Amino acid sequence: MKAIKKVLVTELLRLGRCRSETPAPMEAITEVGVSIYAQFIK
């Protein structure tokens, strides 16, 4: 199985349903060593 090393999203807000929920998934993803790249930061 290949490990995921990077995640590309169009906007960081796509990681949560609302702005207040976005930090939790970001932390969980980066804690396991996956980088997040966003096309737009809003």
Q: Length of the chain in residues, anyone?
A: 42
pTM for the predicted model, two decimal places: 0.70
- The residue among 15, 16, 6 whose CA lies nearest residue 36 is 6
Q: Is the residue at 13 inside a domain?
A: yes
Q: Is the residue at 1 inside a domain?
A: no
Which residues are bridge partners to 38 per DSSP?
Answer: 9
| pLDDT for res 6 | 95
Number of domains the chain is built from: 1
Q: Is the residue at 19 inside a domain?
A: yes
Helix-, strand-, coil-residue percentages of the chain, each rounded to 5? 40, 30, 35
CA angle 21, 22, 28 (to 5 degrees): 100
- Express each pLDDT in 1-42 by its tens digit: 778 999 998 888 778 888 888 889 899 999 999 999 988 876
Domain range for 29? 6-40
Query: Which tokens go with 14?
Result: 């796509």
